[in-house]
Amino acid sequence: MSPNRWPATPVDVSPLNQPLVLYPSGRVVKNRLVKSAMTEGLATWTVKDIAGRGIPTKEIIELHRRWGEGKNTFGIIATGNIDLEYDQVDSVGDMIITLQDSFTGSRFERFKELAIAGKANGALVIGQLAHPGSQLFAHVRQDAISPSGIQLPPSKGLLGEFYAKPRAATQEDIDHVVASFVHGAEYLYAAGFDGMQLNAAHGYLLAQFLSQRMNKRTDSYGGTISNRMQIIIDIAKGVRSNTAIPKDFILSIKLNSVEFQEGGLTPEEAREMCAILDGDNVGLDYIELSGGNWHDLGMHWERESSRKREAFFLEFVDRIGPALGPVPRQTKVFVTGGLRSAAAMVRAMDVVDGIGIGRPAAQEPIFANDLFSGRILSAIKPVKMLEDIGMGFRLAGTQMGQIGRGEDPLDASDDKTAREFLLDQEIWYSEMLSDADKLTGHGNVSLSTPQRPYGQVDW
């Protein structure tokens, strides 16, 4: 039986299937669909041997192989967060590249395998690098750094985790973070990746520096927006001036719509920030606009205009886009979050240069191939009980794990399958609570029902 899909009308998808030339790297993206970063949770994890954490596994390599499968696959495939420290991670099971990691050994070889798998049919593979800052869970490590040492309240997620107690970053801390990002870029290039993305969204350290709420510094990294974004400029210039990284290595950034709301960036600051990021000033190829953090995900259609346009953050794009110039523009702009039908994606191309696809790619790794072939017009629509954004992230994590193990991802539009998933989630939830801070329990919801080998379900 065919799955239930989001409402859609026939549309010419050719605007989505056009190549895009990036600047300043000069790289050509074969189409306008981007597999946006999602936390996979599939890398190695050990409690005591922290240097053994964050190595890509065969499951995560297989997952990226599936995303890169087919001649009309995504133009860009971005990995989930790659952390910069063994004990300062966004999520247990993230991939990790630290300053201590050399360009040899099993970690490096696995990153090379991942790049080869994703690039097999012409997609460009981008590694997303992130530092959690104060958004570090206390059960991983008790202390953290942040711009101003502001403590976050407990997580609003299902498990209600507490965050580490942060201190204000010193200049030495900032220099170390900058060096870690630059090393990460060189490491990715050496492993065969086409570029890197700075995660300055979703409440992580770089977003904390941009935020007026989180950054109360009085030095050169605080105050005006040009100061608050100085750490980003330092990283970008460090990457572009590194002679081991060629000029055709893609450099991008993910920015956050939450900071463009009340208490965040003013419209004047937004224009100034875009002017600084544009063109040759920093050397960014593209800006991906998303939104929310783990306290306010922002991924909901509160306004009727957002509902009609499908995207959660197109109002944000309307606000920031003009500062970067009309389409076509030098520094490209992609939007991620909420777009589910080809028609809405094509309409969005009036104001952006590319479309980011997240959770639909966990449900259907060949989403881009099927959209371009005309086989589908929209993404699979989860049943109502799975539509909640937090639930959606857990579901996507499970589906990515299935793909990595050679299984077809569960059909989220099927009532019976959804109920089975929720029962398994209750077991997972109990196990996570029992584990507490021991760190032995991690990962996504495991399914108790028999699953089919990958490729057997005809979506």
Contacts of 322 (CB under 8 A, 6+ apart): none
Tell me whether residue 351 is in a domain: yes
State residue 129's pLDDT score: 98
Mean pLDDT computed over 336-345:
90
pTM: 0.94
Q: Is pLDDT larger for residue 104 or for residue 393?
A: 104
Nearest CA to 457 out of 341, 386, 370 is that of 370
In a domain, 221, yes or no: yes
Residue 212 lies inside a defined structural domain of this protein:
yes
DSSP 147: S
3-state secondary structure of 314: helix
Is the CA virtual torsion 167, 213, 184, 40 positive or negative?
A: positive
pLDDT of residue 302: 45
- The 8-class DSSP code of residue 222 comes to S
Answer whether residue 205 shows pLDDT above 80: yes
pLDDT-based confidence at 237, cuts 50/70/90? very high
Average pLDDT over residues 168-190: 98
Residue whose token pair is 């995504």: 74
Whether 390 is covered by a domain: the verdict is no
Query: In this predicted structure, which of 115-129, 143-157, 271-285, 369-383 has the lowest mean pLDDT?
Result: 271-285
Determine, yes or no, domain membership for 258.
yes
Q: Do the domain assignments include residue 284?
A: yes
Q: How confident is the model at residue 435 (pLDDT cuts 50, 70, 90)?
A: confident
Q: Which domain holds residue 239?
A: 14-381
pLDDT interval class at 90 (50, 70, 90): very high
- H-only helix segments in 68-170: 105-119
Tokens of 443: 């990962």
**pLDDT at 326 exceeding the cut of 80:** no
Q: Which residues contact 387 (CB under 8 A, 6 or more apart)?
A: none
- Number of folded domains that form the chain: 1
Q: Tell whether 127 is covered by a domain.
A: yes
Amino acid identity of residue 387, one-letter, is E
Residue 96 has pLDDT above 60, yes or no: yes
Place of tokens 């104001």: 351
CATH number of the domain where residue 56 is located: 3.20.20.70
Whole-number pLDDT of residue 293? 43
Q: Which tokens go with 387?
A: 């539509």
Tokens 């991690």 belong to residue: 442
In-domain check, residue 33: yes
Q: Which helix (H) or strand (E) holds 425?
A: helix 415-435
CA dist list (Å): 23 to 29, 84, 248, 328, 421: 11, 27, 9, 12, 44
Name the band, by pLDDT with cuts 50, 70 and 90, for residue 319.
low
